[in-house]
Every structure is written in C-alpha cells, then in structure tokens.
Amino acid sequence: MTQPSSALRRHERREQLLILALLAPALAVVAALLVVPLAWLAVQSVTTDGAFTLEHYRRFLTEDIYWRSFLLTFRIALTVTVLAVLLGYPVAYAAATLPRRWSVMVLGLVILPFWTSVLVRAYAWMVLLQRRGMVNGMLQGLGLTDQPIALINNEFGTVLATLHILLPFMVLPLYATMQRIPRDLMLAGASLGGGPLHVFLRVFLPLSMPGVVAGTVLVFVLALGFYITPELLGGGRTFMVSMLVSRNVEIYNQWGAASAIGVVLLVAVAALFWLASRVVPLERIMGAR
C-alpha cells in the first residue's frame, strides 16, 4: 500500500507542476499588466517626494470637491444603471423569445453601436442635443417648447449619452442568461394554470436575475470610470471622478493625489463586487454556471 500511495503522490506533484508551468505565462502577463500597476498606484498614493504621507487621503475628508465629485459620479452611474435595466430587459427578452431570424436582427441592432467610436457617438449627441440641434428644432416645430432647452452641458446630456453607450453591456449578459432558461419551465407553468404575466413573474424573472446582476455590475462599474462622455456632454459642469484624476495629473502634476483617487475608487468597486456576490455568487455572475 505504501508504494502505490507514494507513486500517486509523486504523480499528483508532477501534475501540479505541469499545470503551474502551463499557467506561468498567463500569470506573468497578469502580474505585469495588473498587479504591478496596482502596486505602483498604491505606493504613489501614500508617498510625496519619496516620503510616506497620508496627505492625499486627507483631502477626501477636508476638500468638498472630492466628495461632490464622488457623489455625482455614483449618482450618474446609478441612474444610468437603473435606466439600462429598464430599457435593456425588454430588448433582451425580445431577442431571447423571438424566432431566430428576428432575434439575430435585434442582437445586430444592439451590437451595431460597437462599430462606432465612443468619441464619435459623443460628438453625435452634442450635434443632436445642442440649442440649435435636431431635438430642440423638433420640439419647437411641434410647438412643445417656445425656446431651446438646455440638453447638454449638464447632467441630463451626460446620462443620456452614457446610457446609449453602455446599454449593450446590459442587454448582452441578460440575453445570455435568458437563453439558458429552459422553455419547458414556462410551458409547465402555463399548464398548471398560470397566466402569461404570472408565469413570467414567478418563473422567468427569478431565473433571469443572474443576468440582471451581471449587467448591473458591469454597467455601473463602467459608468464610474467614464471620461470622454462627461467631458464633452457635461461641459465642465458635470465633474466626475475621471475628470478629477485628469485635472490632478494634467494641470497640477499631482500623481499622488490622482493615485489616491484611483485607490479609493478601486476599493469602492471591490466593495460593489462583494455586495453583488452576497446576492448572487460570482461564478453565476461571470456565467460559470
């Protein structure tokens, strides 16, 4: 019994070493592109001219611009996420339940914006929403307004353009989850006397919640780091965290302050993932099962 067990242990060790050798290139890439930059970011956030300091973090407690910027960023990200769920769920449901020909068409329309640059789409919204743009012209032509409405250089324009860009990131996880829901369950619910709405609320909606959570986390995290859209559509009045980082680096050359902002935002995103994992396990959010 001793020889077979020792041979089995040697085989397991060789197998583990082989797996480690196969993973080594990927681990090296992750370390070079993720771990090292994050470590550099953390070090920069607590140093000034090579000396240890917490001055950069003290600003979060003493300077209102940091709190206002973070609160505005989280409010816009939350607004965009809620609207993305409300708009994206019906689209994903239609794509998952329609015949294949129509489903492909719906998904094609969802993916189509990816072919256009984010910068181009932001400028397109500026053209549409400006005071003499198509939207204001249509509203005045229909007699709904007497004068142009301020649709850009404010929070509304930022939310609208950001929602347009991030909506596909909500639809696709929802569609992937809905595709895995067995249609037999819907038929079984109907055969037991449940109406379409009752079956949807009691069967389909709960089973699609992992997709809702995955899309919510994805859209919310992406919205937190948006820069081009609030810079162009906000007109300097919608001052988000990404713009605060940019100002610290480009204007004041304060890499430590910018790094501290990045660390705080990273911690906030990590807390978000932790909270999401308490609702739905991360393996379900990532689509592992």
pLDDT tens figures, 68-116: 999 999 999 999 999 999 999 999 999 999 999 999 999 999 998 888 8
Q: What is the pLDDT of residue 283?
A: 61
User: How many structural domains are present in the chain?
Assistant: 1
Q: What is the pLDDT of residue 212?
A: 92
Specify if 173 maps to a domain.
yes
Average pLDDT, the chain: 88
Specify if 47 maps to a domain.
no
Question: Domain range holding 229?
Answer: 57-285
Region 193-218: mean pLDDT is 89
Specify if 46 maps to a domain.
no
Highest mean pLDDT among 121-125, 234-238, 248-252: 121-125
Specify if 49 maps to a domain.
no
Q: What is the pLDDT of residue 273?
A: 79
Q: pLDDT class for 196, splitting at 50, 70, 90?
A: confident
Specify if 220 maps to a domain.
yes
> Is pLDDT above 50 for 255?
yes
Specify if 79 maps to a domain.
yes
Report pTM.
Answer: 0.87
> Is pLDDT above 60 for 289?
no
Specify if 13 maps to a domain.
no
Q: What is the pLDDT of residue 224?
A: 92
Specify if 12 maps to a domain.
no
SS (H, E, C) the chain: CHHHHHHHHHHHHHHHHHHHHHHHHHHHHHHHHHHHHHHHHHHHHCEECCEECCHHHHHHHHCHHHHHHHHHHHHHHHHHHHHHHHHHHHHHHHHHHCCHHHHHHHHHHHHHHHHCCHHHHHHHHHHHHCCCCHHHHHHHHCCCCCCCCCCCCCHHHHHHHHHHHHHHHHHHHHHHHHHCCCHHHHHHHHHCCCCHHHHHHHHHHHHCHHHHHHHHHHHHHHHHCCCHHHHHHCCCCCCCHHHHHHHHHHCCCCHHHHHHHHHHHHHHHHHHHHHHHHHCCHHHHCCCC
Per the model's pLDDT, the better-predicted residue between 141 and 284 turns out to be 141
CATH number at residue 267: 1.10.3720.10
Q: What is the pLDDT of residue 261?
A: 92
Q: What is the pLDDT of residue 46?
A: 92
